[in-house]
Structure 1
Amino acid sequence: MKKQLRQQLIMQAIQTGTIQSQADLVNALAEQGYQVTQATISRDINELNLIKVATSQGLVYQVAQRQQPATTDQALRDLFQNAHVQLGQQDNLISLQTAPGSGPMVAAALKQLRWPEVFMVMDNDDGVLLILKSDSAVTTKIWERLVQLIQN
């Protein structure tokens, strides 16, 4: 099966149904007569920029919005609320745990801010790790900014 056709079928499946897992996509393609592996589906999900979004049917795959990341305080508050961000801190590290699929979008918004106190932003599917410059005052400053964005 050609990659382009497979990815078109994946897009059709997520636009017309409730796809909650990679297994759902494997089954959707199998119903159309195409056998694919979960590993192939995983690569396609990444290439197609699919994320899981909370809906009334649970977490389902959707195409990530290709828009400028949120940078205003209100946009960040909304993003953090929708991503169900939970904070954690140790030394000069701040962890932002997110809903599955939301990590890259939260990381993109934080990177866009270009806070001079941030050394690096790392993300995965369900979280973001901020590595801050090693001054404890810097860590406190960023922590307080993030807490304010989450609580307001």
Structure 2
Amino acid sequence: MHKEMRLKIITNLISTQEVKTQEELGNLLHNNGLDVTQATISRDVRELKLIKVPSKDGSQKYSFKIDQDHFISEKLRHKLKDALVSMEVINYFVIIKTLPGHAHSFGALLDSLDLNGKAGTICGNDTCLIICRSPQESERIKQQIEFYQK
């Protein structure tokens, strides 16, 4: 069977079922008439950019990166609503003030997003500092974050 067909079958399986391991994926492929090696499954998982996300029962399952980006975006939207105190740009930096104890979770969410121009984040208890590659990038990143507030 052609690789494209196998990838299409894997995509369908991941979209319609909770697949938790490569072994489980191999068994499902076998049930669909495909006998593939673990190495092939591993390459297919990498090519499809599958990631592990929490499943309904609390364990991990395979998902698509797009789903994860949506999950992170929703978490950031809620975090901005619940814990943001202020946000300002100073040269190469975006400074986010939060309620006490929330800065690290802001930093983790921001590090998970693909924000072009972000060099990194440093977080304390109530402040998250985003270090940007230029003053223009810091303004743009602030606007991207503000978009999640809407």
TM-score, normalised to structure 2, is 0.51
Residue pair 1:50, 1:62 contacting (<8 A) in 2 also:
yes
Pick from 52, 56, 77: which aligns with 2:105? 77
Question: Quick one: percent identity of the two aligned structures?
Answer: 29
1:112 Cα offset (Å): 4.7
Task: Check 1:25–1:78 CA distance in 2 against 1; reply closer, same or farther (3 A cut).
Answer: farther
| Unaligned stretches of 5+ residues in structure 1 | 82-104, 116-141
| Unaligned stretches of 5+ residues in structure 2 | 77-93, 97-101, 129-150
Match of 1:119 in 2: none
In 2, Cα distance between equivalents of 1:48 and 1:79: 27
2:114 is aligned with 1:113 = no
Bigger Rg, structure 1 or 2: 2
In 2, Cα distance between equivalents of 1:59 and 1:49: 16
Task: Check 1:10–1:147 CA distance in 2 against 1; reply closer, same or farther (3 A cut).
Answer: farther
In 2, Cα distance between equivalents of 1:27 and 1:50: 17
| Residues 79-125 of structure 1: CA deviation (Å, up to 9, x unaligned) | 836xxxxxxxxxxxxxxxxxxxxxxx73x64775124xxxxxxxxxx
Task: Check 1:56–1:6 CA distance in 2 against 1; reply closer, same or farther (3 A cut).
Answer: same
Pick from 110, 123, 126: which aligns with 1:146? 123
Residue pair 2:107, 2:123 contacting (<8 A) in 1 also:
no
RMSD across aligned C-alpha pairs, in angstroms? 3.8
2:39 is aligned with 1:11 = no
Residue pair 2:53, 2:61 contacting (<8 A) in 1 also:
yes
Give aligned pairs, total: 98
